[in-house]
């Protein structure tokens, strides 16, 4: 069964542990994209897959029907879904949207990452080796 979290926090024992925190700027951008693509009832899937220059990479895609095993997070009317494997890597992360002349986009500040690629879309967690052969960011 799908777990629905009405805010950006899930209560565990005596403390609140953030599943995902989404900044107001990111929420506004997600809403804008949903309207522009005429898919107002879709959720934003946040996932992690193997690859990238640091070993793991973030991904995002709109999805009409989240899976029953997904964790659903609702923030200010925006729904996000995360599969059980990805939640192990992004639990506690903050999603923001940055708009700059040097390149904007969604940024994920992930407390689980011990190192990140220069482009910010690839990361490595403790105990994992880098898939990179060295020599900097190959994501561009």
- Judge whether 38 lies within some domain: yes
Question: Which residue would you say has higher pLDDT here, 117 or 19?
Answer: 19
Distance, in Å, from the CA atom of 138 to the CA atom of 140, rounded to the nearest integer, reads 6
User: What CATH number is given to the structural domain containing 25?
Assistant: 2.60.300.12
pTM of this prediction?
Answer: 0.71
Nearest to 60 by CA among 47, 73, 71, 42: 47
- Judge whether 94 lies within some domain: yes
pLDDT digits (tens, 9 = 90+) for 48-98: 887 766 578 889 999 999 999 999 999 999 999 999 999 988 888 999 999
How many domains would you assign to the chain? 1
Question: Where in the sequence is the domain holding 81, given as residue range(s)?
Answer: 3-125
pLDDT confidence band for 128 (50 / 70 / 90)? low
- Judge whether 63 lies within some domain: yes
């Amino acid at each position: 069964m799908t777990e629905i979290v009405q805010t950006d926090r899930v209560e565990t024992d005596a403390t609140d542990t953030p599943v995902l925190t989404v900044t107001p700027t990111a929420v506004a951008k997600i809403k804008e994209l949903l309207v522009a693509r005429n898919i107002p009832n879709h959720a934003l899937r946040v996932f992690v897959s193997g690859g990238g220059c640091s070993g793991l990479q973030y991904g995002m895609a709109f999805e009409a029907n989240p899976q029953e095993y997904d964790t659903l997070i609702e923030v200010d009317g925006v729904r996000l879904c995360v599969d059980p494997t990805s939640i192990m890597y992004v639990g506690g992360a903050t999603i923001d949207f940055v708009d700059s002349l040097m390149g904007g986009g969604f940024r994920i500040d992930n407390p689980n990452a011990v190192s990140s690629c220069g482009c910010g879309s690839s990361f490595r967690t403790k105990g994992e080796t880098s898939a990179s052969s060295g020599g900097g960011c190959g994501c561009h």
